[in-house]
Structure 1
Amino acid sequence: MNEGTIEQLSRLDTSHKQQVVQLFVDGFYQHLSALTPDRRSLCNAFRDAFVSEQVYVYLLENRVLGMLAYSTQHSSALQLNRHALQQELGFFKGLMVSFTLGQKPIPIEAHQAYIEDVVTHQEARGKGIASQLIQHLIHTLPYTEYTLEVVDTNTKAVRLYEKLGFVLFKKKKQLLFQKQVGFNERFYMKKTVQRPVQEEEHPH
């Protein structure tokens, strides 16, 4: 596989943003299909949801093969349009999605970035794209701690995050609809990064 590049979504054009939404829907279709099995409606519902400054993509030959979004204490990666969600998913489902996805499952502190929506295109999995995106984010942003959520049944992702230095710090049981959602627990993992301390200038 040829080497691709990692780009901030805000620097790319509309076609790339459309590819990101498609990749997001395909990557989380197992969960999103409970809202509607219509992929087109799901894409329309999330068409303008991503804050492009907070999304990085892996680009190869003008194709988006991977994505990663992140949120901070003051800015979420998703800015959901409740009207668009309700138009595509119906009044109650749209309301539910805007509420649930609008809330972060754990608090985000000032020194943290919360990594979410890590997706690799099906044909490019196992090529290290997710690892490259996460490492790029950590090297690019100034935060000293990075947190994320992963479900217990996604053992490949858990192993990947452990390999990248993330450690488990919290578990949350899935109390309802375990069979439908396909997991029993949510794992919360974090990675601490040492940043060089900037020395204060003292007059001679």
Structure 2
Amino acid sequence: MEEFMEIRKATELDRNDIAFIYADAFSEDWKQLSTDIEKMTRALRNGHILNNYIVAVCDERVVAFIALVTDEVRAFHVPIKDFQKEFGFFKGYMVGMAMKNDMEKEIPLDKGMAYIDIISVCKDYQHKGIASSLIDYVFNNYEYSSYLLSVTNINKKAIACYRKKDFKEVRREKVKYPKQRGFSEYLYMVYHVNK
């Protein structure tokens, strides 16, 4: 973990950093759409519901975030018009709608459960324990009995991180158009708090 790291709620000033980190860290997931990180950042920028986000700050900049959902409102809404602006009317619409089905669908939560919608760490700061620190921050500062998250089956490093944090796989969900998406399923994992 970084020597000095501040973890705090996100503000509007963090929006660009969050969008860039999301675009960059998940570039493998979006590679079928674009390999241009700046273009993807602009497309994602206005979709973040910031009151769901907690950020990690190192070296005076946001380097990671976690998005926590405690009700039916997800942490990201796909800005279709921004996708169309960046990727063309038709392609932007089609990709935006495909993402909308994933990113905005309601996640049924049991009583006392929270959903970790997105965790993302800037590539320069990965493998330094920052994602684990964000998860620990949530566990220590929120009082839920369990936490659910989903991860793509190709994100092996994240799956390993979550398993180290005692998340257990509870189900898998196949995706439509896996070839175009670059992955074939989501793994859903849950952590139960021992109190």
Normalised to the residue count of structure 2, the TM-score between the two structures is 0.84
How far the C-alpha of 1:69 sits from its partner, in A, is 1.2
**2:57 is paired with a residue of what secondary structure?**
strand
2:89 to 91, 114, 119: 91
Residue of structure 1 in register with 2:135 after alignment:
134
Structure 1 window deviating more from structure 2 (122-131 vs 105-114): it is: 105-114
**2:46 is paired with a residue of what secondary structure?**
coil
Residue of structure 2 in register with 1:67 after alignment:
65
How far the C-alpha of 1:54 sits from its partner, in A, is 0.8
Percent of paired sites with the same residue: 27
Residue of structure 2 in register with 1:80 after alignment:
78
The structure with the largest helix share of the pair is: 2
Q: Aligned partner of 2:80: which letter? A: R
Separation of aligned partners in 2, 1:36 and 1:105: 27
How far the C-alpha of 1:110 sits from its partner, in A, is 4.4
Separation of aligned partners in 1, 2:91 and 2:144: 35
How far the C-alpha of 1:107 sits from its partner, in A, is 2.6
**1:22 is paired with a residue of what secondary structure?**
helix
1:164-202 deviation per Cα after TM superposition (whole angstroms, max 9, x unaligned) = 121111012356434x5444432110011245xxxxxxx
- Give the gaps of 5 or more residues in structure 1: 196-204
Residue of structure 2 in register with 1:163 after alignment:
164
Structure number with greater CO (CA < 8 Å, separation at least 6) is 2
**1:46 is paired with a residue of what secondary structure?**
helix
Residue of structure 1 in register with 2:187 after alignment:
187
Residue of structure 2 in register with 1:116 after alignment:
117
Separation of aligned partners in 1, 2:172 and 2:106: 11
C-alpha root-mean-square deviation of aligned residues, in Å?
Answer: 2.3
Whether the 8 Å CA contact 2:30–2:181 is kept in 1: the answer is no
